[in-house]
């Protein structure tokens, strides 16, 4: 498996520093948070996109994916959501990134689960054609209203398109009470990559160094290895939302060592 980290852990960091951290600490790639407050976002000009792609290629660091914020199950008109997804797909195509991330984002007070599923599936099915043209996969993250694999596959089964898959966030499936074996069994036909992280408890989600919390990382890696899955593990350290969390650069080497140990133990 290849290892990456998300720039959510180093908010606003210039790209030369991002790639330096990756190479110095032994990560194969990075997940870029695609937001206007970050160096990479859909408003970049064509020339800026060429420059970003060239920088990563020269550094020998892969762009795993772009973490967007489109909420595909949210109530409202389809077109603004589709436009947001199309812009992210175009950016990913220009940068050579294989994946974009979208959220479910249903409103429990304004939609029934069936309505939310149908809305998400309709939008993802429509966006899948643009994703095919761009050569990029759209990944629905296990998150918020669809936090478990059982939730996500209700949508993915309706879409039924190879360019639409799943991003397994191990924290959210755990918070949803799902066992890693259940998650993998459900998501394996759709799985793009896996976000790993660690927290102290369900009530305290301040990011911790990998292995210092309660999430079943060893079990997740063992299951992936046992089934011969050879994709990406991406450390999403949510420093952006928790100012009190330790700086990610200080933790990257130990995190790489911990993931390497888990991979060796499961081999």
Model pLDDT for residues 93-111, shown as the tens digit of each residue: 999 999 999 999 999 888 9
Instruction: Note down the domain range covering 217.
Output: 2-266
**Is the CB of residue 10 less than 8 Å from the CB of residue 25?**
no
* pLDDT tens digit sequence for 241-252: 999 999 999 999
Kind and range of the H or E element at 137?
A: strand 137-141
> Rounded mean pLDDT of the chain?
97
User: What 3-state DSSP class applies to 34?
Assistant: coil
Kind and range of the H or E element at 121?
A: helix 113-134
Q: Which neighbouring-strand residues pair with 6? A: 31
**Is the CB of residue 3 less than 8 Å from the CB of residue 217?**
no
* pLDDT tens digit sequence for 45-95: 999 999 999 999 999 999 999 999 999 999 999 999 999 999 999 999 999
Q: Which residues contact 174 (CB under 8 A, 6 or more apart)?
A: 215, 216
Question: What span, in angstroms and rounded, lies between the C-alpha atoms of 54 and 180?
Answer: 38
pLDDT of residue 118: 98
User: Of how many residues is the chain composed?
Assistant: 267
Q: Over 90: is that where the pLDDT of 267 sits?
A: no
**Is the CB of residue 99 less than 8 Å from the CB of residue 92?**
yes
Q: Which residues contact 84 (CB under 8 A, 6 or more apart)?
A: 68, 69, 70
- Tell which residue, 121, 167, 125, 118, has the closest CA to residue 144: 167
Q: What is the CATH number of the domain that holds 184?
A: 3.20.20.150
Residue 167: phi, psi to the nearest 5? -115, 120
How many structural domains compose the chain? 1
């Amino acid at each position: 498996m290849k290892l990456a980290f998300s720039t959510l852990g180093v908010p606003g960091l210039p790209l030369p520093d991002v790639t330096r951290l990756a190479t110095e600490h032994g990560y194969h790639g990075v997940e870029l948070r695609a937001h206007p407050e970050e160096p990479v976002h859909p408003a970049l000009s064509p020339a800026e996109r060429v420059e970003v792609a060239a920088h990563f290629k020269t550094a020998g660091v892969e762009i795993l994916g772009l973490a967007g914020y489109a909420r595909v199950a949210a109530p409202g008109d389809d077109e603004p959501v589709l436009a947001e997804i199309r812009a992210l797909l175009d950016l990913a195509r220009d940068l050579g990134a294989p994946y974009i991330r979208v959220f479910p984002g249903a409103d429990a007070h304004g939609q029934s689960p069936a309505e939310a599923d149908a809305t998400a599936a309709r939008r993802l099915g429509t966006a899948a054609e643009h994703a095919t043209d761009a050569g990029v996969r759209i990944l629905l993250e296990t998150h918020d209203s669809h936090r478990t694999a059982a939730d996500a596959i209700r949508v993915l089964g309706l879409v039924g398109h190879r360019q639409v898959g799943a991003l397994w966030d191990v924290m959210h499936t755990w918070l949803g009470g799902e066992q890693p074996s259940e998650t993998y069994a459900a998501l394996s036909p759709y799985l793009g990559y896996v976000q790993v992280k660690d927290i102290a408890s369900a009530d305290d989600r301040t990011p911790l160094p990998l292995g210092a919390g309660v999430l079943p990382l060893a079990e997740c890696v063992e299951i992936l290895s046992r089934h011969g899955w050879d994709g990406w593990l991406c450390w999403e350290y949510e420093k952006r939302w928790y100012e009190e969390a330790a700086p990610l650069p200080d933790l990257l080497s130990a995190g790489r060592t911990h993931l390497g140990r888990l991979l060796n133990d499961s081999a």
